[in-house]
Structure 1
């Protein structure tokens, strides 16, 4: 069911995901191809906002709600990009066994998490916690 808080949470997290992806691109090694990183991050934000953050609106404070949303945005974003990179390497036959590919998925996701340690990215995520939680709770109170 479409509700205002789900829609607002999805829009907020999609914006945060896309913005963080743009800040991550310069952090990546020289010669790496980010591909559709911004669109994929925004799509992950849409889904996380709609499925995770939106239904929780009104049941917790704005900071808690924002922390939940941004945490799951980062988690699923890292899982998504780890999976994409692992599949790219698997199609080039870099792994001998499926277990090796899954182990490398975790390693790749952890490597991608290091890109998030830059100050502008951390500030963006922190601001995203406050803004997305506040706006989503407001939408729930006003239209929910």
Structure 2
């Protein structure tokens, strides 16, 4: 059911996903094809905000911060796996895998490789501040527009 807290959480995580994806771009190797990296990150933020953060609002300030942290962790893990799967599909179209099991296993290793780009100070700061603010803003929306 559409509620204000779902919408606000979706918007907060969409903005955070777009900002973090722009912070990650300079850390990738030169010539890396990003495609629709920022749009996919924002779309994933909308989905995580709507499904994970929005329904969990309304339990107080401490739980709001925990809700924001949970939403951002979910966004990061889902993003790593999604972009690992996209890279795996690109590689599979170039016939780099012998069987489907190897391709599926490579999703996790690609996600682990991509996770090292998140270790930058700017990215970590954006994720932590974004998590806290997203949780608090979602809680405010719940209290304001119930």
Q: Same fold (TM over 0.5)?
A: yes
Instruction: Identify which range, 56-65 or 101-110, moves more after superposition.
Output: 56-65
Runs of 4+ with deviation above 3 angstroms: none
| Residue in 2 that maps onto 1:139 | 141
Q: Distance in 2 between matches of 1:50 and 1:62?
A: 15
Q: Could you list the runs of 5+ residues in structure 1 that have no partner in the other structure?
A: none
Query: For residues 46-101 of structure 1, what are the alpha-carbon distances to aligned partners after superposition, in whole Å with 9 as ceiling and x for unaligned?
Result: 00000111000113622101111101110111111011000000011000011100
| Residue in 1 that maps onto 2:33 | 33
Per the alignment, in what secondary structure is the counterpart of residue 94 of structure 1?
A: coil
Q: How does 1:7-86 map to 2 (within 5 A)?
A: 7-59=7-59, 61-86=63-88
Q: CA deviation at 1:32?
A: 0.8
| Residue in 1 that maps onto 2:101 | 99
User: TM-score when scaled to structure 2?
Assistant: 0.96
Q: Distance in 2 between matches of 1:108 and 1:120?
A: 22
CA RMSD of aligned residues (A): 0.8
Q: Distance in 2 between matches of 1:59 and 1:37?
A: 34
Counting matched residue pairs gives 144
Q: Distance in 1 between matches of 2:75 and 2:5?
A: 17
Q: Distance in 2 between matches of 1:62 and 1:134?
A: 6
Q: Distance in 1 between matches of 2:93 and 2:55?
A: 38
Q: Distance in 2 between matches of 1:107 and 1:34?
A: 19
